[in-house]
Amino acid sequence: MSNIISYKVKKGDVIFLENDVADCAYIIESGSIELLINNNGLQSRISKLAEGAMFGEMALIDRHQRSATAVASEDSELIVIPNKYFNDKLVNSDKFILLLLKTIQQRYREMRCRLDRVLQESEFRKHLDVNDDIKNDLEQTAAYACIQIKAEQNLKLALEKNELVLFYQPIIALKDFSVVGCEALIRWQHPREGLVMPSEFIELAEQTGLIVPMGRWIIEEAVQAFSRFVDSGLNLEFISINLSGKQFGNADLISNIKQIFEFNHVDPGKVKFEITESILMDKSVNIDNILGELKALGSHIAIDDFGTGYSSFAYLHQFPIDTLKIDKSFVYSMSYNHKSFEIVRSLCVLAKAIGLNVVAEGVESAKELTMLKELGVEYVQGYYFAKPMSSDDFKIFQVNTDQ
C-alpha cells in the first residue's frame, strides 16, 4: 500500500505495540498519543505527543521492530504514512539526503540502546527534554508536511476521480486571422473550490512525481480532443501540449506517446510539444535523444516562454526546434519599453533567419497586435482574441474580426 489514509482512534486504543514489526509512521492530525516502554514488566511513559507530531517514523526507513507502544490518550485522528510511500520518494531523492537519513537512523538506534540502560534513573530524564526552539521548528515542519501530504493525496484523487480538465486557447494566424491551432492548458475542476488554475498545483505535481501519470493523461486527452475538433469540421494545423521536465525523466515517455498516437489514429505531425529552456539545460536527462525521437515520430517542438530563461541561442541550432514562443512579459512591455521591443524584433529576425516560426503569447491589446504584425510575427495567442476555454466552447469559437 502506498496511499496515505486518515485513521480515527478512540481514547485508550493501542496503535501499535512495542516489538511489533513496523510498516508505517503516523502524524497526529488532532488529539494526542502516549509512547510507553516496558520497564521490567511495568509500562512507563516516555513521551506524550500532540497535534502535528510524527511518531513511528523509524518504520519509514526500515521495517524494524517498534521500540515503544503507542496509545491514544484521547480521541484522535492520525495520518498513516506507509513505508512504501516514503520509499517511493526516496528512489528519486538526493543520495546525500538518503545517506544523512540512514546515518541519523543508525546513530538513533545506538543511542536508544545506551539510553535504555540509564532511563530508569530519573536523574537522566531531565536531560532528555528537547529545547523549545527545536520543538517549535519540528512542529512547523510537521505542519507543513501535513499540508503537503494532504495536498498530494487530494491531487492524486483528483486525477483518479476525473476532476482534471483541459482548456484550449486558440492560436491565430495573423495573415488571415484564422484559428490554426490551440494550446491545451490544464485546470482542476474542484468539487468545492471551483476551477483551480495550474499555478496552484503543477509545481506540487512535479515535486511529487504525479506529473508523470498526469502528463500522460494530458497527452491522451489533448490528442483525443484534437481528433474530435477535426471531426467536428475545424481546420486545425496543430495542437500544442506542454511537457514538464519531470516527464523527460520517465523512460516510457516516447513509447506512451507513440501508443497514444496509434490508438487514437492521430497524425503525430499535428502535435507540437512545448518545453521550456530549463528542460534543455537539464543535463540529468538525455534531452537530445528524446527530442530526436519526438521529431522522428513527426511531431514538432516549441520553446515556451522564450526570453525568460537562459536564452542561449546555442540551443536553437543544437536541438531540433520548430517554434519560438515569445513570452508574454515581452509582448506586454514592448509597447512602452523600447528595449523589450528591440528584444522581440531581434528574436523575430533571428527566428526567420534560421527557419523557425514564432508565436507571440499573451497578446492583450490592438496596439500589441499591430506591432507584432509589423515585425512579421506569424502566430498570436492571447486574451485579445480569447481566453482558454472548454472543448465545447472551442469547437464553436470564431475570431471576432471587428476588434
Task: Work out which of 34, 152, 221, 304 binds Ca ion, going by CB under 5 A.
Answer: 304
Task: Work out which of 305, 323, 326, 368 binds Ca ion, going by CB under 5 A.
Answer: 305
Q: Is 241 in the site for Ca ion (CB under 5 A)?
A: no
Strand arrangement of the beta sheet that strand 54-55 belongs to: 5-9, 76-82, 24-30, 54-55
| Nearest to Ca ion of 9, 348 (CB atom) | 348
Could you tell which of ligand C2E, Ca ion, none binds residue 81, using a CB distance below 5 to 8 A set by kind?
A: none
User: DSSP states of 177-245 as a string?
Assistant: --EEEEEEEEEEEETTTEEEPGGGTHHHHHHHTTHHHHHHHHHHHHHHHHHHHHHTT---SEEEEE--H
| Nearest to ligand C2E of 59, 222 (CB atom) | 222
Q: Is 368 in the site for Ca ion (CB under 5 A)?
A: no
Question: Grid coordinates representing 392?
Answer: 465545447
- C-beta of 142: minimal distance to ligand C2E in Å? 30
**266-304 burial: b if 16+ Cβ within 10 Å, else e:** bebebbbbbbbbebbeeeebebeebbebbbeeebbbbbb
Among 394, 385, 389, CA closest to 229: 394
Q: Footprint of ligand C2E on this chain (CB under 6 A)?
A: 169, 184-186, 197-199, 202, 218, 242, 244, 304-305, 328, 361-364, 381-383, 388
**97, exposed or middle or buried, with CB in 10 Å at 0-12, 13-18, 19+?**
exposed
Could you tell which of Ca ion, ligand C2E, none binds residue 83, using a CB distance below 5 to 8 A set by kind?
A: none
CB 52 within 8 A of CB 120: no
Cβ neighbours of 249 (radius 10 Å): 16
Could you tell which of Ca ion, ligand C2E, none binds residue 155, using a CB distance below 5 to 8 A set by kind?
A: none
| Nearest to Ca ion of 152, 304 (CB atom) | 304
Task: Work out which of 34, 152, 274, 378 binds Ca ion, going by CB under 5 A.
Answer: 274
Q: Which amino acid is it at 138? A: L
Q: Is 152 in the site for Ca ion (CB under 5 A)?
A: no
Stated length of the chain: 403
- C-beta of 291: minimal distance to ligand C2E in Å? 16
| Nearest to ligand C2E of 15, 344 (CB atom) | 344
Could you tell which of Ca ion, ligand C2E, none binds residue 31, using a CB distance below 5 to 8 A set by kind?
A: none
Q: Is 326 in the site for Ca ion (CB under 5 A)?
A: no
Which residues would be at the binding site for Ca ion (CB under 5 A)? 242, 274, 304-305, 361
